[in-house]
Amino acid sequence: GRTLAGFSLSAKQKMMDCESCPYKDFAMFYEYYGTALYADNWINSALKGSTTSLSNGNADFSNYSFIGKGEFIKKATVSMNVFMYVIYHFEGALDDCDIIEDSVHSWDIGVCLYVGSLGAEIGTAWNGKLIHALADKRCVNFKTCGPDGNELDGPSKVNSDVMTLFALGKFQLQNGNCSAARDVVEQITRLMYVPLIQGVLRYAYRADVLGEGEKGGAAGAVFAASVLPLIHAANPDDAMVIYNNMRVGQSLVDSGAVKVSFENVYESIGISCSDVGGLWDWANDDYFPGMEPCVNSTAGDGMYDSDDDDHNDHVQNSNGKGNDHIVSDVHYDGHDPSAWEGQIDVGTTTIPSQMPSKQSDSLERTSTSPTISDTETFQDLDSGKALPSISLARVCLVSCLSLFVYTF
């Protein structure tokens, strides 16, 4: 069967050597680390307590106890391996865009790997182990929860936006609108990096000011390793500052320098200050000193731009922030599974109000955040016929549960 180790070992074939390869994000990691086996090298080196053999971003795990090694292995399995596995399945869906059933099946697996079987259960997002759970945990630390990304509880804005994009991308694939689906994949991908950046900033401050121990230092190093190739592609100098402060074994951390280095590249990597927020001090009901949100400039699409404008391609809410592709007050109401409010306009594809129709709701939600249904269908705008859909619940049970254990 499929394993996480197996994906890492075959990543070059899947994401560098395929007909439509190289895939953009994997190519950045390949170039930075100098090998397609970067995640496997990292995790196995942590297990053995040895040193990685990479072109950049090396790590020496020899001085860590089981506590630190556990953090390295658990978090790297998700943020370095599952993260790229999600992207692989979305890219695969685009490659198969002319074969609707195969394309949608690959898309559903990508969604499943983002959410996980635990995250798909009602009200259990924090019990999850994958990127969906991480985004909800970090929004509480950075005051980026809620539909507008300015609250301290509830679903993260990242997840709210990503879930809307999941449904939109699936609709576009079912209609054969490949170019619009490509835009959606790029929007999803850049949002996936946000909780990883938040993780680096959180543990940088904890190490710098609060004297974080081995476990927290390990967590910060993993999150940094998971975004360094992206930062390096935008600005190698800023990537070096982050690495020097957050590398495995580093004891002295300048959290201010780490924060500035990230902020220097936000526009280039297509995210904004409001996406990341600031590190919140619950005890004093304010941001930690020096960790306040930066001020948004006009966010460009940077290395992810697939159009010719300079607008930020995130999901637009009622406050007018964000996406120049997704317009109006669109959201899926989890309380009423048949209701789509407003309309979505992406390229030449428009989803009118009251679509998609939902035939069953065995994964009924209590949250108002956008969700992907159990058996959700969209109508072809020309024929009016429902297009085939793959059961998300079945995909999660069959695929996700078989991928949680890193097998060696």
pLDDT attached to residue 180: 95
Q: What is this structure's pTM?
A: 0.77
Q: Which helix (H) or strand (E) holds 101?
A: helix 100-119
pLDDT-derived band at 125 (thresholds 50, 70, 90) equals low
Tokens of 222: 């993993």
| CB contact burial 165-199 (16+ within 10 A = b; e otherwise) | bbbbbbbbbbbbbbebbbbbbbbbbbbbbbbbbbb
The full 3-state SS of 231-266, as one line of letters, equals: HHHHCHHHHHHHHHHHCCCCCCCCHHHHHHHHHHHH
Contact assessment for residue 338 and residue 358, using Cβ atoms and an 8 Å cutoff: yes
Contacts by residues 230-234 (CB-CB < 8 Å, ≥ 24 positions apart): 230/25, 230/28, 230/193, 230/269, 231/261, 231/262, 231/265, 231/269, 232/28, 232/32, 232/56, 233/28, 233/31, 233/32, 233/303, 234/265, 234/268, 234/269, 234/302, 234/303
Q: Where is pLDDT greater, at 67 or 324?
A: 67
pLDDT digits (tens, 9 = 90+) for 331-387: 323 323 233 333 333 333 333 333 333 322 222 222 333 333 333 333 333 334 443
Q: Which helix (H) or strand (E) holds 286?
A: strand 286-287
The full 3-state SS of 203-228, as one line of letters, equals: HHHHHHCCCCCHHHHHHHHHHHHHHH
Kindly give the interhelix angle for 178-208 and 255-269, rounded to the nearest 10 degrees. Answer: 170
Which of 122-136, 153-167, 228-242, 382-396 has the lowest average pLDDT? 382-396
pLDDT-derived band at 212 (thresholds 50, 70, 90) equals confident
What are residue 322's phi and psi, to 5 degrees?
110, -125
**Statement: residue 143 has pLDDT above 80:** yes
Q: Where is pLDDT greater, at 330 or 147?
A: 147
**Statement: residue 126 has pLDDT above 90:** no
pLDDT attached to residue 110: 96
Kindly give the interhelix angle for 214-234 and 255-269, rounded to the nearest 10 degrees. Answer: 40
pLDDT digits (tens, 9 = 90+) for 3-56: 888 888 999 999 999 999 999 999 999 999 999 999 999 999 999 999 999 999
Q: What is the CA radius of gyration of the chain?
A: 20
pLDDT attached to residue 297: 59
Contact assessment for residue 166 and residue 372, using Cβ atoms and an 8 Å cutoff: yes
Mean pLDDT of all residues in the chain?
A: 78
Kindly give the interhelix angle for 66-76 and 214-234, rounded to the nearest 10 degrees. Answer: 40
pLDDT-derived band at 192 (thresholds 50, 70, 90) equals very high
pLDDT digits (tens, 9 = 90+) for 108-124: 999 999 998 876 554 44
pLDDT digits (tens, 9 = 90+) for 282-340: 999 999 999 999 997 544 445 554 443 333 333 333 333 333 333 223 332 332 323 33
pLDDT more than 70, % of the chain: 70
**Statement: residue 271 has pLDDT above 60:** yes
Which of 27-36, 78-87, 118-127, 265-274 has the lowest average pLDDT? 118-127
pLDDT attached to residue 382: 34
